[in-house]
Amino acid sequence: MPNSVYSFHGGLHLDDHKSESLTQPLQIASFADELILKVSQHIGEPNTPVVTIGDRVKRGQLLAESSALVSAPVHAPTSGTIKAIENRSIAHASGQKAECFIIVPDGKDEAIDVEIRSAESTALDKAALLDQIRSAGIVGLGGAVFPTAAKLTTANQHGIKTLIINGAECEPYITCDDLLMQNYASIIFKGISYLQAILQPEKTIIGIEDNKPAAIKAMQQALTESSLSNITVTSIPTLYPSGGEKQLIKLLTGFEVHSSQLSFEIGILCQNVGTCAAISQAIDKSRPLTSRVVTVTGPGIKNPGNWFTPLGTPVSHLINLAGGYTIEKPKLIMGGPMMGLTLKSDQIPVVKATNTILVMDQQEQEIAQECIRCGRCTEVCPVQLLPQQLYWYSRTHQFNLTESYHLFDCIECGCCSAVCPSHIPLVQYYRFAKGEIWDQRRKTYKSDRSRKRHEFRDARVAKQKLLDEEKRKLKREALAKKKAAELAAKEKTEAESSNSQNADAVQAALERVKARKKAQQVDPKNTTDLTTDQQDQIDEADARREKNKVDDA
């Protein structure tokens, strides 16, 4: 059995506190009196309920779904009645509520009728497998709760060369995957075989931390018993956070997934062992995802252990199963001590993402001291960032500088906060900075839209004004034309009538003049009977006139 040869920078050797919850075997939790089943238990588009208040439901029945690709349906964990569909407190840092089904179990635990595939039936093809995985509501049970069917579909389009199965479980206190591997290794391998059928990778590597020798042994055994090939079970050194996806990939293959990439872009895909087991149940037994293994542990719990828990079980029920609290003021954490989430009450239900309920002592929250720039955070960061610089820039709100120091590559593992001598809550600074940057991006997107809408509206109004102006102009012109035409017509008729009157008067006048002229028509007396002397005088004058005429010319 090979050991990994690669390593990643930084990381912390933590006290693993695993033995406390390994004293008991894996048990099955009873049903609580009331199950609070969150309607959407995945990353992606939220689900809408398909049942209503008062409906009687059976175990495995579809309760809520969404048509989006990145979504996963939710099924009833047991038979009972839907008492209500209302907002209840859920596991979120804000303490906000979300829509939940309130199911009252009827104690009969009847399942819906399903066709169980027999072993002899022909193997399902890729599409059918993916369909089964999707309708079973399977999401990544390592904590990310990304819908598995969507992840596999996208990965398949790219082509996967290496499939990695994450059995690392690096965070202290958590032992759910450990016990799952010890007790149900063969089921996990069934699930892996289905993954191999879908993805057809060249090789498969199962990574398990070396503080789980029993699990490694069980998985080795199951591997030899199964008929799968090209699979190795690799033990990796116990170092937090070797179970982080990018860190595990580096440990097992030596490849570093680029900060802007997802792992399938370099042909590698990672799945948790719990997800594999769920896939096997979904395909072999047509069981949708309705329960998961949850570790209940911590210094504040009487009998720590692991329980196979129906989804929707309130945390208080599990704590009762584990013997109850041993401290007065318990601090409830969903998840591990490094990356978990504080719960404000124990009425919060278990969801697909719940791997542990950790009960610790209430710590007094002191205000951090100043950063002394000691650099220990840089020494332990598994992503090789400069946490100190990210801290300075987050604190002074210089968010563009945090981005240039690769803030979004931070996996929020908590190694830096765990070694800081000034006890500065570094991870909270980075979460704060990320939130502010996302908020700023949303605001910018909104303001860009508003600007466009405003410009469009101004343009629309201006255009409308122009159109109105045009219309008015045309109307004015039309009116003016009409008026002019009317006027012209009027003048013409007037002119015509006055013209004919004038013509008669003129004619009459002309006639009178002619008549007068005729009356005055008398010949002159001295042009006939001329004497010779008179004739000579006239001839002389004429000749003189001729001569003058010639001279003048």
Footprint on residues 246-265 left by another protein (CB under 8 A): 246, 250, 253-259, 261
Query: Closer to another protein at the Cβ: 51 or 371?
Result: 371
Range in contact with another protein (rule: CB under 8 A) among 101-109, 203-211, 320-328, 333-341: 333-341
Contact assessment for residue 231 and residue 204, using Cβ atoms and an 8 Å cutoff:
yes
Query: Closer to another protein at the Cβ: 152 or 360?
Result: 360
Query: Closer to another protein at the Cβ: 93 or 484?
Result: 93
In whole angstroms, how close is the CB of 296 to another protein at the nearest point?
A: 16
Contact assessment for residue 442 and residue 411, using Cβ atoms and an 8 Å cutoff:
no
Kind of pairing, strands 56-57 and 80-89? Answer: antiparallel
342 part of the interface to another protein, by CB under 8 A: yes
Output the six-digit token pair for 245: 């996806």
Contact positions with another protein (CB under 8 A) in 51-110:
92-96, 98
375 part of the interface to another protein, by CB under 8 A: yes
Produce one character per residue of 380-401: b if its CB has 16 or more CB atoms within 10 Å, e if not.
bbbbebbbbbbbbbbeeeebeb
Count of C-beta atoms within a 10 Å radius of residue 534: 11
Query: Closer to another protein at the Cβ: 21 or 253?
Result: 253
Contact assessment for residue 346 and residue 316, using Cβ atoms and an 8 Å cutoff:
yes
Which DSSP symbol is given to 247?
H
Contact positions with another protein (CB under 8 A) in 133-192:
none
In whole angstroms, how close is the CB of 269 to another protein at the nearest point?
A: 17
In whole angstroms, how close is the CB of 493 to another protein at the nearest point?
A: 48
409 part of the interface to another protein, by CB under 8 A: yes
For residue 154, what is the enclosing H or E element? Answer: helix 148-158
Phi/psi at 158 (5° precision): -90, -35
Query: Closer to another protein at the Cβ: 14 or 199?
Result: 14
408 part of the interface to another protein, by CB under 8 A: no
Interacting residue with another protein among 152, 335, 351, 359 (CB under 8 A): 335
Query: Closer to another protein at the Cβ: 68 or 479?
Result: 68
Contact positions with another protein (CB under 8 A) in 440-469:
442-443, 446-451, 453-454, 456-458, 460
439 part of the interface to another protein, by CB under 8 A: yes
Which DSSP symbol is given to 289?
S
In whole angstroms, how close is the CB of 55 to another protein at the nearest point?
A: 26
Length of the chain measured in residues? 553
Query: Closer to another protein at the Cβ: 167 or 382?
Result: 382
363 part of the interface to another protein, by CB under 8 A: yes
CA-to-CA dists, residue 146 to 70, 245, 315, angstroms: 8, 13, 23
Interacting residue with another protein among 154, 232, 316, 428 (CB under 8 A): 428
Query: Closer to another protein at the Cβ: 22 or 433?
Result: 433
* Closest of 426, 435, 339 to residue 385, by C-alpha: 426
In whole angstroms, how close is the CB of 498 to another protein at the nearest point?
A: 56
In SS3 terms, 45-111 reads as: CCCEECCCCCCEECECCEEEECCCCCCCCEECCCCEEEEEEEEEECCCCCCCEEEEEEEEECCCCCE
Tokens 């090979």 belong to which residue? 2
CA angle 430, 141, 261 (to 5 degrees): 50
- Between helix 387-395 and helix 426-519 the angle, nearest 10°, is 50
Query: Closer to another protein at the Cβ: 159 or 435?
Result: 435
Count of C-beta atoms within a 10 Å radius of residue 229: 8
In whole angstroms, how close is the CB of 154 to another protein at the nearest point?
A: 19
- Integer-rounded Cα Rg, in Å, for the chain is 49
Interacting residue with another protein among 119, 367, 503, 550 (CB under 8 A): 367
DSSP assignment string, 337-389:
TTT-EEES-TTPBP-TT--EEEEEEPPP-PPP-------HHHHH-TT---HHH
In whole angstroms, how close is the CB of 363 to another protein at the nearest point?
A: 6
Interacting residue with another protein among 372, 467, 479, 515 (CB under 8 A): 372
In whole angstroms, how close is the CB of 240 to another protein at the nearest point?
A: 10
In whole angstroms, how close is the CB of 456 to another protein at the nearest point?
A: 7
Output the six-digit token pair for 223: 């591997």
In whole angstroms, how close is the CB of 437 to another protein at the nearest point?
A: 10
In whole angstroms, how close is the CB of 361 to another protein at the nearest point?
A: 10
Query: Closer to another protein at the Cβ: 153 or 354?
Result: 354
Range in contact with another protein (rule: CB under 8 A) among 135-143, 206-214, 428-436, 484-492: 428-436
Which DSSP symbol is given to 112?
P
Order of strands across the sheet that contains 291-297:
27-28, 305-310, 291-297, 356-361, 330-334, 341-343
Query: Closer to another protein at the Cβ: 88 or 246?
Result: 246
# binding residues, another protein (CB under 8 A)? 89
Query: Closer to another protein at the Cβ: 274 or 335?
Result: 335
Contact assessment for residue 280 and residue 187, using Cβ atoms and an 8 Å cutoff:
yes
339 part of the interface to another protein, by CB under 8 A: yes
